[in-house]
């Protein structure tokens, strides 16, 4: 990459009315590459800040996302490197250099005119980068259509995104630039000097910098401060050249310009003024105003007041959602960043908020009652097995399946095991439920469009206590969900205790995979013991948000960012993932953004093959294991 001037950053770029849109679009490209304004094409006369903005994008990425591959190159360098590569017979290596970038910054593209081979290679590179979602930012001294000798296909590509003109800075912006340059140089300007200099209509910032250097040199060499009254004499040659005017005439022009601007603004159509003010307000806060910009150049929209009001209401709602997510803690920060800045994606933001609320919803805890040490009349083998299950050491029997025709006995033992575990592990995740409640909760999550977050919440418990297990035979999809939950918890080393009114072999209409796993632990019948039966569940407070995100076990690393599928397929973590592959229709709304976050799956009827003992559920899912050998399971008849 071209050596960058460390001073050319967004912080050092003085933004005025003539450069506000270019600056905002460039920041968006730097913060969210490839998501909007792609390609971004900047053009202006020489010396007005194009190269500064391109360098600022590169600096921003090097600080905020150092892993991104960013290449800043001028067209002259591009042509020189191509010539060298052709001389070496290494054309493919040159082409490959630019095809795996996250951001390509190409300056002075007008110099590509009349270079057919370079244009052909660049065309291929742009197509590949666009397809992969990479950001492209181009700069020129003229708009694409005015570059003679440029391939029509390149003109089309350059014009396919956002084209922004950077104009000459007006008086106030010139004053701000002069003061900022003085601060950077550690120089002090006397009152009125910046204003006097700014009255000269310099054609670009470089000329302005040259005039300011004359003031600095005078102060350095003569050891004194230049006053405002001396500026006219100091700039005499520039004023006489015709490229600039004296201070008095410059002031006149500035006043005239201001008057014209005020007149134009006064005559601005009300709907255009309303759109402009709404767009400026939104973009100052970092929100996309593309919805309103689509009306630029159009006739007055019907019901334009409603359009503006709906846009402002959507921005306000995004602001509320952002604040709410910050308050409750968002485990999908990276995936949410773009959604929360685009009013056109408000529906996704609402779905994200619902999913986060579901993910953070605490499980009920067990209220006061007996612990395992207080159950004296239960069979010793049942008490010992339950104590081993909730002990610090890894349990020998997991899952523990307890059955009794007097169901309250099982409830009492289940509650005592949970209280014993809860007292020794107050921060651990524990879920107590019945099979019917589990199925009802899953149906609720499907109806609310938060099945992905619901699933992730269940998969992170450390102890799962389920009673009334025989009721699973009355369900269909809930059996599949319970099977995946069972597998995910076992792989994480979580503990599972199940209570039913009959042994696994006598539960009819249940998936044989589940039956074999229930029998694969320890199955005990309890014929004695107090039959109190009251589990005494109480609501628990929502967990406090911690800095650094959430530790969600094998599903995601601490830090609040769930890795994308391509990382999970080769990573070291273990666990089962369900990832949506969305068809044309869906019975559920979108879940958390990003391929890494578990999301609600779509429902798709699939016929069961004849003679098949088991077939995947109607839920259309992709099962992803990080290591293939962990997927292999021996099914016992």
pLDDT in tens, 282-297: 888 888 888 888 887 6
Residue 133: predicted pLDDT: 86
Closest CA to 600 of 627, 614, 619: 619
- Domain final residue, candidates 500, 519, 538: 538
Residue 126 tokens read as 């742009």
Last residue of a domain, one of 360, 377, 407: 360
What band does 435 get if pLDDT is binned at 50, 70 and 90? very high
Q: What pLDDT is attached to residue 462?
A: 94
Residue 284, in any domain of the structure: yes
Task: Give per-residue pLDDT as tens, 223-270.
Answer: 888 888 888 777 764 443 333 334 444 444 445 444 444 444 445 688
Whether pTM exceeds 0.75: no
pLDDT of residue 401: 94
Q: What is the mean pLDDT of residues 571-582?
A: 32
Q: Please answer whether residues 494 and 396 qualify as being in contact, where contact means their C-beta atoms are separated by less than 8 angstroms.
A: no
Number of domains observed in the structure of the chain: 4
Q: Do 378 and 527 share a structural domain?
A: yes
Q: Are residues 382 and 456 in the same domain?
A: yes
User: Are 508 and 401 in the same domain?
Assistant: yes
pLDDT at 488 over 70: yes
Q: Which domain holds residue 42?
A: 20-165
The whole-angstrom separation of Cα 337 and Cα 278 is 21
Percentage of residues in the chain with pLDDT exceeding 70? 78
**Residue 82 covered by a domain:** yes
Rg for the chain, CA atoms, rounded: 34
pLDDT at 300: 84
**Residue where a domain stops, chosen among 538, 561, 590:** 538
Do 295 and 193 have their domain in common?
no
Would you state the pLDDT for residue 245?
38
590 pLDDT band, cuts 50/70/90, is very low
Residues 469 and 332 in one domain: no
What pLDDT shows up at residue 564? 34
Identify whether 595 is part of a domain.
no
């Amino acid at each position: 990459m071209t050596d960058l001037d460390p001073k050319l950053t967004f912080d050092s770029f003085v933004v005025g009315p003539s450069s506000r849109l270019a600056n905002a679009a460039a920041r968006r490209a730097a913060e969210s590459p490839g998501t909007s304004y792609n390609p971004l094409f900047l053009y202006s006369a020489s010396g007005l800040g194009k190269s500064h903005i391109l360098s600022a994008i590169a600096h921003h990425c090097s600080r905020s996302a150092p892993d991104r591959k960013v290449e800043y190159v001028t067209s002259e360098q591009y042509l020189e490197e191509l010539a060298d590569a052709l001389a070496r017979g290494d054309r493919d290596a040159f082409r490959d250099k630019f095809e795996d970038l996250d951001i390509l910054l190409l300056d002075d593209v007008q110099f590509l005119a009349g270079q057919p081979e370079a244009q052909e290679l660049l065309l291929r590179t742009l197509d590949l980068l666009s397809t992969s979602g990479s950001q492209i930012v181009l700069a020129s001294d003229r708009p694409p259509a005015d570059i003679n000798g440029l391939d029509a296909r390149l003109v089309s590509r350059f014009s396919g995104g956002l084209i922004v003109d950077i104009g000459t800075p007006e008086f106030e912006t010139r004053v701000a630039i002069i003061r900022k340059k003085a601060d950077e140089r550690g120089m002090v300007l006397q009152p009125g000097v910046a204003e006097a200099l700014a009255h000269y209509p310099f054609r670009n910032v470089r000329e302005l910098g040259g005039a300011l250097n004359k003031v600095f040199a005078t102060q350095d060499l003569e050891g004194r401060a230049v006053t405002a009254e001396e500026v006219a004499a100091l700039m005499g040659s520039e004023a006489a050249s015709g490229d600039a005017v004296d201070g008095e005439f410059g002031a006149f022009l500035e006043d005239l310009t201001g008057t014209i601007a005020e007149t134009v603004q006064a005559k601005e159509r009300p709907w255009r003024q309303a759109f402009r003010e709404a767009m400026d307000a939104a973009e100052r806060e970092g929100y996309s105003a593309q919805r309103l910009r689509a009306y630029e150049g159009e006739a007055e929209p019907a019901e334009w007041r409603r359009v503006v009001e709906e846009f402002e209401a959507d921005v306000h709602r995004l602001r509320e959602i952002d604040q709410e997510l910050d308050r409750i803690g968002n485990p999908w920060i990276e995936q949410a960043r773009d959604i929360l800045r685009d009013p056109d994606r408000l529906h996704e933001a609402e779905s994200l908020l619902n999913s986060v609320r579901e993910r953070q919803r605490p499980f009920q805890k067990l209220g006061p009652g007996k612990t395992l040490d207080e159950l004296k009349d239960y069979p010793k083998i049942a008490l010992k097995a339950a104590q081993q299950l909730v002990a610090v050491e890894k349990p020998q029997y997991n899952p523990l399946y307890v059955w009794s025709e007097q169901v309250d006995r099982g409830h009492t033992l289940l509650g005592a095991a949970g209280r014993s575990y809860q007292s020794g592990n107050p921060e651990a995740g524990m879920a107590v439920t019945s099979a019917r409640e589990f199925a009802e909760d899953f149906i609720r999550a499907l109806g609310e469009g938060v099945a992905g977050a619901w699933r992730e919440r269940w998969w992170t418990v450390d102890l799962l206590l389920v009673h009334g297990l025989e009721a699973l035979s009355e369900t269909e999809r809930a059996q599949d969900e319970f099977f995946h939950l069972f597998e995910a918890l076992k792989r994480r080393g979580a503990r599972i205790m199940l209570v039913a009114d009959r042994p696994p072999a006598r539960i009819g209409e249940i998936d044989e995979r589940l039956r074999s796993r229930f029998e694969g632990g320890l199955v005990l019948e309890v014929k004695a013991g107090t039959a109190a039966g009251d589990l005494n569940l109480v609501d628990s407070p929502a967990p406090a948000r911690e800095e650094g995100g959430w530790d969600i076990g094998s599903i995601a690393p601490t830090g609040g960012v769930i890795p994308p599928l391509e990382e999970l397929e080769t990573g070291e973590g273990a666990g089962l993932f369900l990832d949506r592959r969305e068809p044309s229709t869906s019975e559920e709304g979108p879940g958390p953004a990003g391929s890494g976050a578990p999301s609600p799956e779509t429902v798709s009827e699939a016929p069961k093959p004849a003679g098949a003992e088991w077939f995947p559920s109607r839920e259309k899912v992709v099962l992803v294991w990080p290591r293939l050998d962990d997927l292999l399971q021996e099914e016992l008849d």
